[in-house]
Structure 1
């Protein structure tokens, strides 16, 4: 079942060793053979003994910071060495290594900066975090309509600062000092601004001396689906006889287009007939307290389409499934998606599929420690409070997008309707699009460390 499921995500997902490799003995393409010791020590020893070939001096390696986690399903430990100067991180200055369970280094990617100290400018910021955000707003053409104030600020060298929204961002604006690398190493304010009037979530580096925007990239990946892609689907056997009406004995139920149906146009009977099925208690060990939990104890915290893995809604309003958690809503495919109970039916399908993709990819190693999307991590590592915010029937046409901040920041999925037919099609009922968008979030979280900027464009 799960191997076939992968076809939904491959366009949006970049597979890396945490998902794609087994943890067996050293293979012929591994960087090293079997080695005893902790994976961090193994990687540090390799880097130090190969510093010349890596183009690094002892000074370049001094004061580095280490992050690591292990993927239980593969036994692979993922080690990230972060280059620092004056207790300040180098943005994208890291060494990423994957270590098998027998101590073999599978691969290593070096982004440390050679002669960092010799290339670095002043280690003192000449503009404040607020001034840096104001400079970024000017660069982006945004009008600061409210005074930007400091809400919190650390006392360390990086001055990790949280600023108010200023009328330019949907969320608080996090900033901190980093070294930004070009021909020289410049001290810069690293920040993110989630625009209030568009689907852009900018990650920017602003020179801490001049206020110049050194670089920026958009955390939101945009897709466009402006024509039907349902001409070559796999023929599926009829699913008549499966329950579509309320039944007794379930803990939760969802009237949706379930796996393996990709959309209404892949069901039997075909539209305008309602080809949905009632899925009862579909959660697995990846969601041990069910899909409506956030506390980590028996009993649902929400009777709506909100839970530990996703908050599915339209304009801030979730679909109400009632105390029985029976998320069954009438669907009429002969009228527009935005009419009547069609909205709640779309939200329920969006909720179901976000949870399903979460649970499936948990099996493949996209878990709490690797940076998955959960409000409560149940003590399994990683940063909490980042369940997907999935917006149904958002304000766009024939499009969808996914914005991925770093671990601990809640990502946003925006799904749209599409006027390629009459009535319009609803992306919230197109499971291939939902899985594709979620795949962007997975690949961004797993590629290039915790900065989530590796795969994005300026």
Structure 2
């Protein structure tokens, strides 16, 4: 009865919200990203973290304490007596980075038994008990009274001054009443809908939140530290929609949104981009697939079955009578080929790397199998392993057309099924694209849906294996159904080729570790239509959202790159790694993003990526220009700065034609081609004293790939450009010992584009903005090194 009453109350609130915020039936909206960012920019009000790389002596010396004890002692030293009653607990996503030999310890702060959303500490501790760096956002004020209504005085004061907002939300007039969770959830949806309605183009109004309410995770109470240091009591919700997953914190007194993060990477208003979030399910006008957009999987299956060739290819896949004695083979564009304009497809074997994928790409322990249908003829149980004959495995489940996670588990959804030929399961499907045909005849994407899925499968597995060797492994939160070396299981990526969620886009959703990431690749409406799964840079960009979100702030916290400069860098890292993969010959050409898929000369970014400052003029101060508050625009600036750093590193240390590090079983000669030898490391200024055990990549592009991954692990939750820069420099110090040419190269290269030591921002808010000033200063110790200008 209580649940019925709660739903009745919530339904009434939703009805009121819809009536109050309804738009005319023919009202046109802008892109969904506009609504998402309005929701964030008008409501996010959280305290920023402190990031320390120059650790005080007392904690920078060796200790006999455990890493957890060291971190707890550090946190205690930062808290005053008035907040001593708060509790600190070690989070379960703390981990030991075995390759480096260092510990990442994450502490959560609790007040009155409630978690503080943005309160805690991250300490990086050496095996000898030294604190190498730390970031914290600990609440150090008065503790509210422990009672049934543990509300701080500053929150009550804010509540008293916000009656206008309260009356608009039609919630409660009681000055001290704690809202029930149903009312708080209704308030969240009212505010989200009021912002979503009336802002957009290309989209018609009509999101249906009501159908999704049943899947909203239960509320819990939590505190949020506001930007002025007030401890605010809130209701916490996880609100999944078919497009987005929101983590929201609603003021328990007045129902205003205090903080919200979208676990799905956001898109750009008005132009094609690499994500298209919205608060709820929308129909996209003029695409001709509106029916499919809101349809269950049976209609996705039906839509695909319009193409008899696809159905026949699945039905007539070769038998498994032959033994599989060789690695699977795929007819694909090989790794490093950005799109069909650059090369032809060839047969590529599955990468055999026992350290990374011990059971191969197509298998995992049977105890982890999420597919239980007896109708599933494409999974085989072999001892303790479940093996798949289609595009499913330990790292990713690839299928076609889906919108929501549940679509991936439909037993009849057609997937590519390989045929065993000469001992190798072979995935070979037609893709009749003719790059020489400038006015290509129409080529409906559904006609090559199986080739698209095969390409997506290959690219994701290659990238998964590559990132593992740079440190994105099980303990740090990668995406695997079974993680042999730690971390949480059950989170292989769900990936949809030709997703019917929309067009001209792609997106990636990253929930906390142990919950599945989701990638949706869309088709693009050029002439002919093009399939984003065939542009490797887009796939890498999207998967990199998972990389950066899991590594920043710990794998259990998916809110650290939700908006502002943090969200911008999340976009920028995607472009950086896409460009690193595309550059196979140390080319000086300018690289675009999304050019092939969109059919737009120059791609979907404002400028191509080039170290030539005439072609690519963005600097740190560019963030002050109109429009650069948006995450993709800010991301372009970050990517431009970092790719210039990469160019400096390649000039200094050379170029590796492969980004793939050698396996641990590789010969010494293979390892020496990729990494510095022990003798070379010992010759570095502080090489013998370095804190890391990880080998040092010898070439500029692979070195920066390593430092970028390491920097993500070190940087604070919600970093800005300045703290991310310091994290990369600190990563270099840990890896190489510091005080050397590596560090000076980074300082000079960052300074070229205005991110020197004297770069600053004034008036910065938790979600960005402020006035940025270029700085070109480098450390005095680097004055004798050569500053490298653009070519």
TM-score, scaled to structure 2: 0.44
Go from structure 1 to structure 2 and tell me whether the alpha carbon gap of 1:418 and 1:109 turns closer, same or farther (over 3 Å shift).
Answer: same
Indicate conservation of the 8 Å contact 1:226/1:398, yes or no: yes
Indicate conservation of the 8 Å contact 2:95/2:475, yes or no: yes
Which one of 77, 91, 96 corresponds to residue 117 of structure 2? Answer: 91
Aligned to 2:649: none
Distance in 1, matches of 2:498 and 2:448, equals: 11
Show the 5 A alignment for 1:113-262: 113-118=139-144, 122-123=149-150, 126-141=178-193, 167-168=211-212, 172-182=216-226, 183=228, 184-196=230-242, 199-223=243-267, 226=272, 249-262=325-338
Deviation at 1:358, TM superposition (A): 1.3
Go from structure 1 to structure 2 and tell me whether the alpha carbon gap of 1:249 and 1:170 turns closer, same or farther (over 3 Å shift).
Answer: farther
Distance in 2, matches of 1:306 and 1:366, equals: 21
Indicate conservation of the 8 Å contact 1:321/1:327, yes or no: yes
Equivalent position SS for 1:168: helix
Indicate conservation of the 8 Å contact 1:283/1:359, yes or no: no
Aligned to 2:295: none
Higher relative contact order (CA 8 A, sep 6+): 1
Structure 1 vs Structure 2 CA RMSD:
3.2
Distance in 1, matches of 2:400 and 2:348, equals: 22
Indicate conservation of the 8 Å contact 2:123/2:134, yes or no: yes
Greater helix fraction, Structure 1 or Structure 2: 2
Go from structure 1 to structure 2 and tell me whether the alpha carbon gap of 1:132 and 1:442 turns closer, same or farther (over 3 Å shift).
Answer: same
Distance in 2, matches of 1:320 and 1:103, equals: 51
Distance in 2, matches of 1:396 and 1:250, equals: 38
Aligned to 2:763: none
Aligned to 2:579: none
Which one of 505, 509, 517 corresponds to residue 411 of structure 1? Answer: 517
- Structure 2 residues without counterparts, runs of 5 or longer: 1-52, 152-176, 195-208, 274-321, 367-382, 403-412, 435-440, 564-766, 768-791
For residues 139-169 of structure 1, the C-alpha deviation after alignment (integer angstroms, 9 at most, x for no partner) is 2229xxxxxxxxxxxxxxxxxxxxxx95126
Go from structure 1 to structure 2 and tell me whether the alpha carbon gap of 1:117 and 1:376 turns closer, same or farther (over 3 Å shift).
Answer: same
Go from structure 1 to structure 2 and tell me whether the alpha carbon gap of 1:291 and 1:131 turns closer, same or farther (over 3 Å shift).
Answer: farther
Distance in 2, matches of 1:393 and 1:87, equals: 46
- Structure 2 residue 314 is matched with structure 1 residue 314: no
Indicate conservation of the 8 Å contact 1:137/1:168, yes or no: no
Greater strand fraction, Structure 1 or Structure 2: 1
Indicate conservation of the 8 Å contact 2:82/2:142, yes or no: no
For residues 13-40 of structure 1, the C-alpha deviation after alignment (integer angstroms, 9 at most, x for no partner) is xxxxxxxxxxxxx999997133333111
Indicate conservation of the 8 Å contact 1:256/1:276, yes or no: yes
Distance in 1, matches of 2:544 and 2:260, equals: 22
Aligned to 1:59: 83
Distance in 2, matches of 1:425 and 1:29, equals: 55
For residues 69-105 of structure 1, the C-alpha deviation after alignment (integer angstroms, 9 at most, x for no partner) is 0112111210111110122210010111111233221
Which one of 336, 340, 346 corresponds to residue 277 of structure 1? Answer: 346
Show the 5 A alignment for 1:282-361: 282-284=351-353, 285-295=355-365, 299-316=385-402, 317-322=413-418, 324=420, 325-334=425-434, 338-361=444-467
- Structure 2 residue 108 is matched with structure 1 residue 82: yes
Deviation at 1:126, TM superposition (A): 3.6
Go from structure 1 to structure 2 and tell me whether the alpha carbon gap of 1:181 and 1:59 turns closer, same or farther (over 3 Å shift).
Answer: closer
The number of aligned residues is: 378
- Structure 2 residue 547 is matched with structure 1 residue 442: yes
Equivalent position SS for 2:341: helix
Indicate conservation of the 8 Å contact 1:73/1:363, yes or no: no
Deviation at 1:276, TM superposition (A): 1.1
Go from structure 1 to structure 2 and tell me whether the alpha carbon gap of 1:56 and 1:290 turns closer, same or farther (over 3 Å shift).
Answer: farther
Distance in 1, matches of 2:106 and 2:89, equals: 8
Equivalent position SS for 1:348: helix
Indicate conservation of the 8 Å contact 2:331/2:348, yes or no: yes
Aligned to 1:385: 490
Equivalent position SS for 2:363: coil
Distance in 1, matches of 2:442 and 2:325, equals: 34
- Structure 1 residues without counterparts, runs of 5 or longer: 1-25, 143-164, 228-245, 268-274
Aligned to 1:10: none
Equivalent position SS for 1:40: helix
Distance in 2, matches of 1:298 and 1:266, equals: 42
Distance in 1, matches of 2:104 and 2:443, equals: 44
Deviation at 1:318, TM superposition (A): 5.0
Distance in 1, matches of 2:443 and 2:143, equals: 58
Indicate conservation of the 8 Å contact 1:200/1:218, yes or no: yes
